[in-house]
Structure 1
Amino acid sequence: MDEDFQIHFAKGENFAMRKFHYHDHYEIYYLFAGERYYYIENRTYYVQKGSMIFIKKNEIHKTIAGGKLHERAVVYFTDRFVDQYHGQHMDMLLSSFMSANRIVELNNLEQNYIENLIFQMNNEYSDRGRQGRSLYCETLLVQLLLFASRKMKETAEAAHIPMHPKISEVIEYCNANFVKSLTMEGVAARFFISPFHFSRLFKRYTGFNFTQYIHTLRIREAQKLLRETPHKVIEIAGQVGYVNIAHFNRKFKQIAMMSPMEYKKMIKSSGIFTTDAAAASGTPSPAAYESPHRPI
């Protein structure tokens, strides 16, 4: 590898590495859409959209065709790229590469956070003349590695806590009806739960409050439409449940950390998404949200 940091995007169908290989740098594989099988040393992982695989240095690995159109990004970096970190900090950053389980599966409320980091990395990496390019890519990579480390730890801890059956029903309902005007009290009543108990249960089992969840579902869909359709921003706002374009723009920026037009420009610069792409999406960490008692 000529540089200490690289990022590459690709899409295709039935594509697989022609042979097993290994290299002296770290690799992070993120799947936007489709499915793959990924062999690392003596284990094969099933990788679906919204999942990351971590391959450490000098491990023999190979992707295997999953039989569907897939879109992915691969991030490579060397020890030199993160050599300012030492001891516990370095151990934490590289913990995902050292784990017995190398895959991180992101739910629908986490994927956009990682995807936005990846798109920002690509945007920065593609402009070789930009001041502070390497430093900015490093800060984005650190955010991704920290998130993955925490996610792996949380996943291991949460494995002993089954999803509450009522909250599972609520999530299914919200996923199908997020474009409607929903309130926490209204949904709680629909499922015969007191608003106070509903709020506590929802937060406990999802990690998000109700209003935050609905907004992120909407913005996730808006990002998908920005990637896959030629529709105008104001049209997309209405399609995902916002009657006020200013409200939509504000929520989009809170969640995606950029405006809808900035997001569309960043997606276009990646060069892999088209209007018929079957891309995946999710959502990032929370910002400020409105009262859960107001219609969203």
Structure 2
Amino acid sequence: MEIVYENKTEALTMQFGSGLSGMIHLHKELELIYVESGKAVAYADKNSYILNKGDVFITFPNQIHYYETIEYGSFAVIIFSSKIVYGFSDIISKSVPDRNYIPCGEVEGFDYIFNRVTALSGDYTELALNGYINVLMSRILPILQLKTVNAENNTALYNVIDYCTNNFKEDITLDSIAEKLHLSKYYISHMINRKLNQNFNEYINNLRIAEACNLLRETNIKIADISEDVGFGTIRSFNRAFKQMTGISPVVYREKNAVLKKLI
């Protein structure tokens, strides 16, 4: 399981797609999904929800989330800073909701608001979108129970994930991260186990294997060189970790993807 910390620079982004991203990630912003058509499974922390037409999915800052598209359709994705939500920024930034899923019809007027949002265009789109987001959040917040989270723990989590994401190719250890981030290695180990449901070595290996898969698909670099490039000490340990994560060897993975490319 590859988990990436995304460092967003824009306070507000809106995009539309036929499917949703399978990349496991977290960021400091809220993420709001509206299903115009299609079907997907949305995951937030350790919970999962099936999304159908008209459903809404929301994640709060620093919640680990990702998606699995079941039926392609039309999905609206709005990512925005908590500072946009007038008067509630501090509460939102320090909280997580009791659920991340709002089924179609639970809040009257959602479909109308989202239809207006998806039709926005022109010079004042961002201004209008800011207004609609506040309207949406004024309907969403009253039906959710918010639980306060330790902001220090959140900061530590995304610092660790950010560091791992940018340094997994190196000889990275709990000791080296602890020294770099001035945290206890036991605290880091416990946090990864509790938040990511895996131990530190599994997390680093998953980052490395995810990068190896990308190189196997997109380049002709020799497998032995890929193994070294992504941070494995030996080709044997690379092959073992790769098969454990994907169920097949790097050679077979490359061959299968080469066949798929020819069919596309």
- TM bracket, shorter-chain basis: 0.3 to 0.5
Q: Which has the higher contact order (CA 8 A, sep 6+)?
A: 1
